[in-house]
């Protein structure tokens, strides 16, 4: 993470700000410097004009865009819908899912209108510009195939929509005058396996700096030697200019300088400094301590540039048989995979939405994130540094061989190296990143050509960052054993294939295996199906999956099978579950069933509400807090006298179940099967309305915790609960308000599906809503939605004025709910 002292400007006001501004994961704090040394950063956020469809001469500075839509960037042009089964309808056989026959897939990419051309235009001026300045134009992500025009001239293009990239536009800029930026984006059909989003979905920046300056992404910090008394901090800094000197100071988390060094010799274009930090505080998921390296570049004795890089002191090691260690302590990855969409707000990056996701995962006991199957947002990496998550940063879903007709294979030969270089250079200072991934389930797993490509990509990663290993998520394990593909990798990553772990461990020379993608259990929050049995690719008339957590895909498995490997095999170094949250697209097992348009894989649903599976993982991963969760709900009118099994997910080994005061017996976890090892299950309970209660026992058989579930009456009142009650008045911050319905006695109504309406007034606006129903075609941005399994979530966004936001939620026949959120400058 890099920080830099500089002037910061917002293009809507072009005024100096004393705020913190994010640039490529780098924080810039506003400060007044002489023009000789300042950097100016313009965040091109407001006053963008947007148009769907191609337009002749839209790149021209004189083009009239006054009738175009005004939008704010980051922006996802497709998330407002509407959903349409004809959008990107794909007739394919999904090879990685084992399909042999092509079938029509209607919701594979989310059924949202992302395909086609979109144009963005913005006008900006550069304050305090002069002829001796260098100007960079940076994009953190543009979906897709962006073509960039400045003042009517094309300054560059990029192909990969997930990549960060920049251009030197010094020769194209117009000093203090008006500059016109135009961006053309082209999203092809058949280019993705999930909803990729559309538009300038991450930030756009303009950086103005001296020509004698530190290169973009030119700082690389490692901590090669660490003891309890001393840490060696190695700082490599690439810079441009003559007669240069580099002064570097190390600051602790409180801003106190704890070490410094001055370098007069530059080797080629790079300074290298080794700086001793005494009594270092180490970065880990439990203690995510961050230092800052402040590097000052002097030319001819004059300060020309200053960059601050946030980093962590930590060591990582991967050893055969032993596994992965962080700071010399063996640790297993308790990880989840995350797609880059943020549910109802789409792919437009929002830090408060990302923070909410990570807060939910932290409570579950997650210690690691895999960005799947794309390069992560820089905001996500910042938060992982701060909150304590290890990170597996992934690059590609395709190499030279295609999965989809218009996928990355079209650009692999020409672009793969530069895309990896940008990924590594832009993110390598994040202590959270502990591993790279060069690919996921690539068809190149067969044959020697694939093995050569794997080594070529891995060598690029090693050249740019010798400190971290590289993996690939392999689903064709037998093929990679035969071709040598798996043996080439630093870390063999297995996607599913639990029956082949032992064979892979014996065949590959590394002496360890990573569960790079695991489980793919499917479920719908609050939906339970009978009879309760393990099943693969099970489908129901309502297009939902059972939340008893026993249903998986043809290629995957229930969580318990991975738990066994993690617990019993020291050479299995951890897992990344597919997925932490539901995402738009890939509605397996209903790929061919409209209106399914989002996934069922999530441990949390698309609204961010936990499914039952959340508590199964929490009972194993969160070792600090008590977990005692009972399922299903207890509203089963019409099932009186029928078998309705009760499951309990808990970190206790035994518990007793009571129904209306009568004991249903004590269950104890045992080794008889994977499910009995990790769950408590009463399989012969017959439903009768009333109360079920669970009493958990400690190791000595003493009752230590209990929980009850009651049969609810008719829906009566709406209850609102916000994840945060105070927001920043920055026009971006979000509060996520969970709306649920209860009966007259305050008992939650778990099967309520009432249509609700939302009204926001005061210092904020209504942003979106989501209910977690993968079959819902209600549009997220409209202020109305049905409850799903008794709940939904409303997103409220602050404006730029401090004050109070009031959300009112109403529904026919229900007592209205209200909540206030305050905002501050």
- Count of CB atoms situated within 10 Å of the CB of 533: 11
Look-up of token digits 């609700």: 756
- Active-site pick, 441, 551, 586, 656: 441
Say yes or no to pLDDT of 309 above 70.
Answer: yes
- Examine the pLDDT at 5 and tell me if it is beyond 70: no
Mean pLDDT check: name the lowest of 1-10, 391-400, 566-575, 799-808: 1-10
For the segment 143-156, the average pLDDT, to the nearest whole number, is 98
Ramachandran assignment for 519, one of left (phi > 0), alpha (psi -120 to 50 degrees), beta (any other): left
Beta strands of 46-144 (E only): which ranges? 48-52, 69-71, 90-92, 103-105, 116-125, 133-139
**441 catalytically annotated:** yes
Q: Residue 285 pLDDT > 60, yes or no?
A: yes
Average pLDDT over residues 543-558: 97
pLDDT at 9: 46
CA distance 511 to 18: 52
Mean local confidence (pLDDT), 169-189: 93
pLDDT at 806 over 60: yes
Rg of the chain on CA atoms, in Å: 27
Tokens matching residue 389: 């998550």
Do residues 530 and 642 lie in contact, with contact meaning Cβ atoms separated by under 8 Å? yes
In the three-class reduction of DSSP (H, G, I as helix; E, B as strand; rest coil), residue 362 is classed as helix
**Interatomic CA distance for residues 141 and 374, integer angstroms:** 11
Please give the Cα distance from 674 to 676 (Å, whole number): 6
Confidence of residue 586 (pLDDT cuts 50, 70, 90): very high
Task: Please give the DSSP secondary-structure letter assigned to residue 508.
Answer: S
Residue of 762, 715, 719, 761 whose CA lies nearest to 737: 719
- What's the CA gap between 795 and 700, in Å, rounded? 46
Helix, strand, coil percentages (3-state) for the chain, rounded to 5, are: 15, 40, 45
Mean pLDDT of the chain: 94
pLDDT digits (tens, 9 = 90+) for 82-134: 999 999 999 888 877 777 888 899 999 999 999 999 999 999 998 766 778 99
Q: Is the pLDDT of residue 7 over 60?
A: no
pLDDT of the residue at 6: 45
Q: How confident is the model at residue 8 (pLDDT cuts 50, 70, 90)?
A: very low
pLDDT of residue 761 exceeding 60, the answer is yes
Mean pLDDT of 563-590: 98
Give residue 726's pLDDT band: very low, low, confident or very high (50, 70, 90): very high
Rounded Cα distance between 343 and 53, Å, is 25
* pLDDT at res. 25: 32
Q: 594-616, pLDDT tens digit by residue?
A: 999 999 999 999 999 999 999 99
pLDDT per residue as tens digits for the range 427-449 = 999 999 999 999 999 999 999 99
Which pair of structure tokens corresponds to residue 350? 């929002």
41-50 average pLDDT score: 95
Q: What angle do CA 735, 372, 110 make, to 5 degrees?
A: 70
In DSSP notation, 290-358 reads -EEEEEEEEETTEEEEEEEEEE-B--EEEETTTEEEETTEE--EEEEEE-S--GGGTTS--HHHHHHHH
**Per-residue pLDDT band at 293 (split at 50, 70, 90):** very high
Q: How confident is the model at residue 289 (pLDDT cuts 50, 70, 90)?
A: very high
pLDDT of 35: 41
Query: Do you find a cis peptide bond into 416, omega within 30 degrees of 0?
Result: no
Among residues 729, 591, 567, the alpha carbon closest in space to that of 193 is found at 591
Q: Quick check: 19 and 50 in contact, CB under 8 A?
A: no
Is 86 an annotated catalytic residue?
no
Range 408-434 average pLDDT: 98
* Given 382, 517, 551, 575, the catalytic residue: 517
Residue 97 has a pLDDT of: 73
* One-character DSSP codes across 499-564: GGHHHHHHHSTTS-EEEEEEE-B---TT---SS---EES---TTS---TTS-EE-TT---HHHHHH
- Which stretch of 15-29, 353-367, 538-552 has the lowest confidence by average pLDDT? 15-29
Question: Quick one: pLDDT band at residue 408, thresholds 50, 70, 90?
Answer: very high
Q: Is the pLDDT of residue 32 over 50?
A: no
Question: Which of 1-10, 601-610, 617-626, 631-640 is least confident?
Answer: 1-10
Return phi, psi of residue 463, to 5°: -65, -40
The pTM assigned to this predicted structure is: 0.95
Question: How much is the pLDDT for 163?
Answer: 98
pLDDT of the residue at 37: 54
Domains in the chain: ranges and CATH: 2-78+114-210 (2.60.120.260), 213-311 (2.60.40.10), 319-520+555-601 (3.20.20.80), 717-824 (2.60.40.10)
pLDDT in tens, 336-368: 999 999 999 999 999 999 999 999 999 999 999
Q: Which two tokens stand for residue 749?
A: 């109504």
- pLDDT, residue 128, reads 67
According to the model, what pLDDT value does residue 106 have?
94
The whole-number pLDDT of residue 18 equals: 27
What is the Cα 503 distance to its own chain's centre? Answer: 32
- Bridge-based pairing state of the strands 26-30 and 40-43: unpaired
Task: Indicate the SS3 state at residue 559.
Answer: helix
Least confidently predicted of 28-32, 34-38, 564-568: 28-32
Q: What percent of the chain has pLDDT over 70?
A: 95
Q: Report whether pLDDT(694) > 80.
A: yes
Tokens, residue 416: 């793969």
> Using CA atoms, how far apart are residues 136 and 73, in angstroms rounded to an integer?
18
- Using the predicted structure, report yes or no on whether residue 577 has a pLDDT greater than 90: yes
Q: Which secondary structure element, helix H or strand E, spans residue 234, and what is its range?
A: strand 230-240
Confidence of residue 2 (pLDDT cuts 50, 70, 90): very low
């Amino acid at each position: 993470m890099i920080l830099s002292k500089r002037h910061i400007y917002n293009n809507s006001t072009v005024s100096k700000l004393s705020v913190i501004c994010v640039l490529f994961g780098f924080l810039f704090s506003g400060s007044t410097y002489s023009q000789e040394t300042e950097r100016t950063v313009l965040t091109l956020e407001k006053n963008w004009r947007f148009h769907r469809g191609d337009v002749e001469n839209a790149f021209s500075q004189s083009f009239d865009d006054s009738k175009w839509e005004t939008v704010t960037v980051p922006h996802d042009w497709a998330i407002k819908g509407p959903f349409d089964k004809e959008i990107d309808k794909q007739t394919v056989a999904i090879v990685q899912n084992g399909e042999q026959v092509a079938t029509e897939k209607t919701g594979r990419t989310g059924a949202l209108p992302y395909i086609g051309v979109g144009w963005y235009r913005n006008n900006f001026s550069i304050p305090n510009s002069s002829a001796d300045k260098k100007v960079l134009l940076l994009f953190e992500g543009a979906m897709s195939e962006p073509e960039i025009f400045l003042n009517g001239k094309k300054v560059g293009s990029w192909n990969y929509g997930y990549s960060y990239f920049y251009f030197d536009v010094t020769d194209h800029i117009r000093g203090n005058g008006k500059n016109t930026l135009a961006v053309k984006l082209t999203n092809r059909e058949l280019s993705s396996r999930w909803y990729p989003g559309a538009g300038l979905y991450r930030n756009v920046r303009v950086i103005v700096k001296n020509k004698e300056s530190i290169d973009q992404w030119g700082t690389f910090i490692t901590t090669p030697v660490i003891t309890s008394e001393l840490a060696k901090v190695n700082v490599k800094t690439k810079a441009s200019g003559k007669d240069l000197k580099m002064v570097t100071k190390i600051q602790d988390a409180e801003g106190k300088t704890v070490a410094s060094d001055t370098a007069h010799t530059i080797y080629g274009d790079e300074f290298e400094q080794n700086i001793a930090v005494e009594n270092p505080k180490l970065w880990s998921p439990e203690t995510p301590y961050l230092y800052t390296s402040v590097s000052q570049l002097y030319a001819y004795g004059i300060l020309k540039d200053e960059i601050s890089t946030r980093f962590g002191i930590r060591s990582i090691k991967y050893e055969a048989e032993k596994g992965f260690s962080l700071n010399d302590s063996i640790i297993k990855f308790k990880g989840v995979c995350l797609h880059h969409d943020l549910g109802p707000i789409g792919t437009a990056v929002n830090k408060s939405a990302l923070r909410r996701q990570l807060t939910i995962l932290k409570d579950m006991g997650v210690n690691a994130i895999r960005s799947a199957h794309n390069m992560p947002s820089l905001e996500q990496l910042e938060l992982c540094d701060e909150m304590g998550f290890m990170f597996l940063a992934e690059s590609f879903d395709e190499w030279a061989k295609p999965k989809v007709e218009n996928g990355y294979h079209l650009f692999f030969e020409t672009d793969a190296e530069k895309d990896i270089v940008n990924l590594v250079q832009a993110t390598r200072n994040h202590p959270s990143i502990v591993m790279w991934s060069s690919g996921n389930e690539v068809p190149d797993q067969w044959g020697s050509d694939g093995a050569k490509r794997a080594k070529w990509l891995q060598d690029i990663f090693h050249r740019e960052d010798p400190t971290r290993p590289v993996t690939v998520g392999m689903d064709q394990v037998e093929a990679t054993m035969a071709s040598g593909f798996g043996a080439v990798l630093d870390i063999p990553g297995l996607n599913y294939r639990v029956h082949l772990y032992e064979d892979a461990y014996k065949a590959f020379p590394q002496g360890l295996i990573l569960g790079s993608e695991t489980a793919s259990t499917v479920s719908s929050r609050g939906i339970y199906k009978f009879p309760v049995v393990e099943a693969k690719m099970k489908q129901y008339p309502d297009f939902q999956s059972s939340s008893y957590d026993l249903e998986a895909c043809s290629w995957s498995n229930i969580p318990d099978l991975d738990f066994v490997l993690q617990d019993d095999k020291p050479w299995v170094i951890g897992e990344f579950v597919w997925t932490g949250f539901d995402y738009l697209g890939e509605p397996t097992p209903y790929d061919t069933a409209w209106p399914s348009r989002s996934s069922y894989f999530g441990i949390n649903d698309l609204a961010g509400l936990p499914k039952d599976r959340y508590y199964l993982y929490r009972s194993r991963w969160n070792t600090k807090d008590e977990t005692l969760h009972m399922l299903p709900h207890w509203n089963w009118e019409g099932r009186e006298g029928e078998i309705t099994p009760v499951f309990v997910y808990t970190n206790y080994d035994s518990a007793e179940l009571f129904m209306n005061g009568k004991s249903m017996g004590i269950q104890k976890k045992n080794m008889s099967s994977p499910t009995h090892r990790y769950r408590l299950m009463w399989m012969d309970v017959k439903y009768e309305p009333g109360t079920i209660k669970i009493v958990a026992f400690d190791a000595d058989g003493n009752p230590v915790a209990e929980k009850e579930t009651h049969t609810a009456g008719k829906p009566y009142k709406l209850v609102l609960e916000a994840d945060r009650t105070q927001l920043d008045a920055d026009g971006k911050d979000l509060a996520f308000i969970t709306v649920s319905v209860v009966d007259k006695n305050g008992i939650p109504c778990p099967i309520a599906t009432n249509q609700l309406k939302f009204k926001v007034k005061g210092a904020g606006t209504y942003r979106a809503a989501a209910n977690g129903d993968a079959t819902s075609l209600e549009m997220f941005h409209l202020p109305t939605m049905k409850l799903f399994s008794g709940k939904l979530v409303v997103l409220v966004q602050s404006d730029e004025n401090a004050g109070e936001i009031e959300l009112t939620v109403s529904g026919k026949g229900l007592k209205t709910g209200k909540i206030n959120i305050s905002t501050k400058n």
